[in-house]
């Protein structure tokens, strides 16, 4: 599935200035991700695996219900030595997202919610296909608590569980999850 992103602006007469999403760029927080040495072996046994992170960068036309959102989400895998010995290296799976701002639904103290539809970007995805097969298109809903200092806490709308932290800068919002060990 291919999404074509046009210049999206809010059509609301709220007096807010809408942002041109076609020229928006976000900071890639995955550049700060580091390998977690506890992901080197599983219970003392050398096992192919990686330190995994999820990161996202989104451009918002505004923060009112109905405003548009575009961006990317990345699953970053930092390979351990055993996985590297099997011929794999650090890799990533990238999804392009398009969505809409809505009221938060799973986090009563959150500022906004977003509903997103994502499609894998095969040109940017470097992980083996067996890791992302069946995940080519996704639908996800998040609730965001935006602090006065520009910090953001990201929650899954369905469960209300916190999954990442990030920041707001102008019309962009980003996140990076905590690391997790993954075994293959």
The first and second tokens of residue 114, run together, are 């977003």
Mean of all residue pLDDT scores within the chain:
89
Mean pLDDT across 167-176 = 94
Write the pLDDT tens digit of every residue in 28-73: 888 899 999 999 999 999 999 999 999 999 999 999 999 999 999 9
In this predicted model, which residue has the larger pLDDT, 27 or 173? Answer: 173
Mean pLDDT across 82-96 = 97
Residues 27/70, Cβ–Cβ less than 8 Å: no
Cα distances (Å, whole numbers) of residue 123 to 43, 92, 183: 36, 11, 25
Question: How many other CB atoms are found less than 10 A from the CB of residue 81?
Answer: 13
């Amino acid at each position: 599935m291919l999404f074509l992103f046009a210049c999206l602006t809010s059509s609301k007469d709220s007096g807010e200035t809408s942002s041109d999403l076609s020229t928006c760029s976000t900071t890639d927080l995955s550049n700060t991700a580091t390998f977690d040495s506890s992901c080197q072996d599983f219970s003392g046994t050398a096992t192919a695996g990686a330190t995994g992170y999820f990161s996202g960068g989104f451009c918002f036309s505004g923060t009112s219900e109905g405003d548009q959102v575009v961006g990317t989400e990345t699953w970053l895998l930092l390979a351990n030595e055993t996985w590297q010995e099997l011929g794999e290296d650090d890799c990533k799976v990238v999804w392009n997202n398009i969505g809409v701002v809505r009221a938060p639904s799973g986090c009563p103290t959150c500022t906004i919610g977003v509903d997103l539809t994502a499609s894998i970007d095969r040109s940017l995805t470097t992980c083996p296909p067996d890791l992302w097969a069946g995940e080519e298109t996704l639908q996800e809903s998040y609730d965001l608590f935006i602090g006065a200092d520009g910090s953001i806490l990201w929650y899954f709308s369905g469960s209300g569980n916190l999954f990442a932290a990030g920041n707001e800068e102008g019309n962009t919002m980003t996140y990076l999850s905590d690391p997790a060990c993954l075994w293959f």
